[in-house]
Amino acid sequence: MSDFIDDFLAGLEEDKQQPRQQSGLEKILMSSRDNQGTVVFAPFKDSLTGKFYILINNCREYKTTISTYRDGNDEVWVKILPKEFYGELNAAQSALYDEVVGLFDQVDSDLGEIANKWSIIRKRSYSIFQGVLTNHLNSAGVQQKERLGKPALLIFPSRQPINELAVAIKNKIAGMGNSKEWIPAVFSPTSTGREGVITISFTKPDSPGYDCSVGFEFNSNYAKIVDPVAGFPEEVTKDFGNILEEFLGWQNGNDSRFNETNFREMKKIFTAELAKLNAGIPKEQPTPENKNGVDPMIDGGSGQAPQVTPPTTTAPQPAPETSASPAPDASPDGGTGVELPF
């Protein structure tokens, strides 16, 4: 019996210490100037929803240090998703979530209009795809050759890609004589049988918002973009699965997307911040987000140090679009009236 107990406890300890398996997907944050331009990819379905994308509206984010990220030694964007993305919560978890959201909103309100506020606290919407990159041109038209043929998680800080995808599908159906038979050539449930890909052009102009357009490319007599018979090898597609869990990375909980440890710590952080604000202690001026480097919010726990932008000494600049409250949620079909086929 003692051997059984010892083996049981040893196995439990070993399992507890097993790190979360690292994904082979490259997370490409499209708010980075270096990543903006045109991405061409074969989309793969989300294992949970069966859709080819995830749309997150009004994701609350706060930049801070937290013990679950590199032992609290580096700042990171902690994300609070809309409640429905966390699945079934028990009563205590639901109450904790509501309390943390309420504290976040109070901090957001009490900070007022300090300069570069968007570099501390913000709400963002995300369009997220997973797929195999067949081409990637930056905004200067330079091909990112090292990414070709690689699996990627494409993270767009905007609802526009989903809206424009709905428009592109509607226009393509009309252009094909109201035929929908071409759709599986791009949105295939398997890695074979594909004869087309999606193209998304996404850039940040000087004005607020993003410029975005979506289209499709298909095999022709002159060029084969995708081999419908060979498809994509298993070693490339094996990490495609739950898009939301890939997006959250280290912020996932041990057995669910709701990381109770993070939420309890964020409650303490927001409570302390509100106490300082109520005491009249001025908030330090935040450092603007590094748009040209690796945003630590997408770090999957690989151990690579995030790039840090030195504090700015220039005059405060107007906050970009993401600092404002998002516009009313767009309909899933982008307002086109076309029901998306996924």
Q: What is the spatial distance between Cα 94 and Cα 89, in angstroms, rounded to a whole number?
A: 6
Residue 130 φ then ψ, to 5°: -125, 140
pLDDT reported for residue 23: 74
CA distance 69 to 75: 8
List of residues 6+ apart from 66 with CB closer than 8 A: 72, 76, 78, 262, 265, 266, 269
Distance (Å, whole) CA 110 – CA 145: 46
Supply the pLDDT for residue 9. Answer: 55
DSSP 8-state symbol, 238: T
Residues 248-301: tens digit of each pLDDT: 999 999 889 999 999 999 999 999 999 999 987 766 655 555 444 444 444 443
Q: Are 319 and 117 in contact (CB under 8 A)?
A: yes
Flag residues of the chain having pLDDT under 70: 1-22, 282-342
Answer for the pair 185, 218: CB distance below 8 angstroms, yes or no: yes
At residue 11, the pLDDT reads 56
pTM: 0.79
Q: Tokens in use for 108?
A: 């957001």
Residue 45 structure tokens: 């379905």
Please, what is the end-to-end C-alpha distance for the chain in angstroms? 54
